[in-house]
């Protein structure tokens, strides 16, 4: 089951399958994908937080019992559903924040990696243990872990399946911060982001997502275009006027 709780402009999405450490089966992952699709298109939601129900786990991965019965064709669909869910977190036009409580393993670590920001509680444990099952990370882990931690660290973690505690995860760049309770920190950052211009955030996310790929010159040219275009927005006018008038800006996303 996946709950969505809206608090002002912030949506908290909670994956809730506590009897299996929030491991994702087809029903839960499909529901998560559907909820994220809705939130991606909802203008009134400016920031999305992803977390797991209970204290034990964020998500302990894809459901291994389900996967053990799959053939090649079914596994391809299963991988595609995970990829689609990760792409929604990565590309939806608003910031996404993972609040990692407990275990974030395999597909759980991969969904956290697909979010823009990652916070964890001090007891969190993260990793890609797929190698111990004779498979590979299949929801983005072979690519996004390297983007967060660098290729050498990523290869060590995916080759060995070693699980890292929160303090190490912070040191290697897998996390943005370690805080207890983690959801409070995620909410605090989300509230701060929700007060900023959603247009500027959308454009920054789109451009930042290009930073580690494609042609550097073309990416800088795109930044130049988008920078100039934003000067047509009311939010830009408001932000700069508020600075000059020494008051807080109120951004409407216009
Ligand atoms: N799939 C299915 N069930 C899972 C699960 C998973 N990924 N993780 C935990 N569970 C279930 C357990 O089977 C158990 O259920 P039963 O009591 O019915 O057997 C219940 O959750 C509680 O788990 P444990 O008794 O194992 O709890 P623990 O505290 O001893 O250990 C754990 C916790 C370290 C997270 C351990 O459960 C574990 O190692 N889980 C698997 C982690 C894993 O390998 N994840 C990667 C999955 S592959 C993947 O995600 C592929 C991909 O890239 C998409």
Give the pLDDT confidence of 47-68 residue by residue, as tens digits. Answer: 999 999 999 999 999 999 999 9
Of 16, 23, 63, the one to substitute when testing ligand 1's pocket (max ligand atoms within 8 A of C-beta) is 23
CB of 235 closer than 6 angstroms to any ligand 1 atom: no
168 is catalytic: no
Say how far apart CA 231 and CA 224 lie, in whole Å: 12
64 CA: nearest ligand 1 atom: 1
CB of 129 closer than 6 angstroms to any ligand 1 atom: yes
Say how far apart CA 162 and CA 62 lie, in whole Å: 17
Cβ atoms within 10 Å, residue 42 = 15
Q: Give the residue among 192, 199, 248, 196 at the shortest CA–CA distance from 227.
A: 199
Q: Can you give the pLDDT at residue 148?
A: 97
> Ligand 1: distance of its center to the CA of 162 in Å?
15
Q: Give the residue among 111, 7, 121, 8 at the shortest CA–CA distance from 59.
A: 111
110 is catalytic: yes
Q: Can you give the pLDDT at residue 17?
A: 98
CB of 134 closer than 6 angstroms to any ligand 1 atom: no
CB of 61 closer than 6 angstroms to any ligand 1 atom: yes
Say how far apart CA 49 and CA 95 lie, in whole Å: 9
Cβ atoms within 10 Å, residue 43 = 10
Of the candidates 110, 168, 206, 223, the residue annotated as catalytic is: 110
- In degrees and rounded to multiples of 5, residue 7 shows phi and psi of -125, 105
**Whole-Å CA distances, 57 to 174, 230, 254:** 17, 41, 39
Say how far apart CA 123 and CA 171 lie, in whole Å: 15
Of the candidates 5, 74, 130, 245, the residue annotated as catalytic is: 130
CB of 158 closer than 6 angstroms to any ligand 1 atom: no
Integer-rounded Cα Rg, in Å, for the chain is: 19
CB of 139 closer than 6 angstroms to any ligand 1 atom: yes
Q: Can you give the pLDDT at residue 178?
A: 98
**Whole-Å CA distances, 195 to 13, 75, 239, 250:** 20, 41, 11, 7
Say how far apart CA 142 and CA 136 lie, in whole Å: 8
> Ligand 1: distance of its center to the CA of 58 in Å?
12
Q: Walk along the chain (254 residues) in steps of 10 and give the mean pLDDT of each run.
A: 96 98 98 98 97 97 97 98 98 98 98 98 98 98 98 98 98 98 98 97 98 96 98 97 97 94
CB of 78 closer than 6 angstroms to any ligand 1 atom: no
61 CA: nearest ligand 1 atom: 50
Q: Are 112 and 104 in contact (CB under 8 A)?
A: yes
Q: Can you give the pLDDT at residue 180?
A: 97
How many angstroms from the chain centroid is the CA of residue 174?
12
Q: Can you give the pLDDT at residue 76?
A: 98
**Whole-Å CA distances, 62 to 22, 24, 59, 232, 250:** 9, 5, 8, 45, 42
Say how far apart CA 72 and CA 79 lie, in whole Å: 10
110 CA: nearest ligand 1 atom: 53
């Amino acid at each position: 089951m996946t709950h969505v709780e809206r608090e002002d402009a912030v949506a908290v999405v909670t994956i809730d399958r506590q009897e299996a450490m929030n491991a994702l089966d087809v029903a839960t992952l499909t529901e998560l994908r559907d909820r994220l699709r809705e939130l991606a298109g909802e203008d009134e939601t400016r920031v999305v937080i992803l977390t797991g129900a209970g204290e034990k786990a964020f998500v302990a991965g894809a459901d291994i019992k389900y996967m053990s019965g799959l053939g090649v064709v079914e596994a391809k669909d299963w991988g595609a559903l995970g990829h689609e869910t990760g792409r929604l977190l990565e590309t939806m036009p608003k910031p996404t924040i993972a609040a990692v409580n407990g275990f974030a393993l395999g597909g759980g670590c991969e969904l956290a990696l697909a979010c823009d920001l990652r916070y964890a509680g001090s007891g969190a444990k993260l990793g890609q243990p797929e190698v111990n099952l004779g498979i590979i990370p299949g929801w983005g882990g072979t690519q996004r872990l390297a983007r967060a931690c660098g290729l050498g660290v990523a290869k060590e973690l995916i080759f060995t399946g070693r699980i890292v505690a929160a303090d190490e995860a912070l040191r290697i760049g897998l996390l943005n911060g370690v805080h207890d309770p983690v959801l409070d920190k995620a909410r605090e950052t989300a509230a701060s982001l929700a007060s900023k211009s959603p247009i500027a955030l959308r454009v920054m996310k789109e451009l930042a997502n290009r930073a580690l790929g494609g042609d550097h010159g073309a990416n800088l040219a795109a930044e130049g275009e988008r920078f100039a275009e934003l000067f047509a927005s009311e939010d830009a006018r408001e932000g700069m006027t508020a600075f000059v008038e020494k008051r807080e800006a109120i951004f409407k996303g216009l």
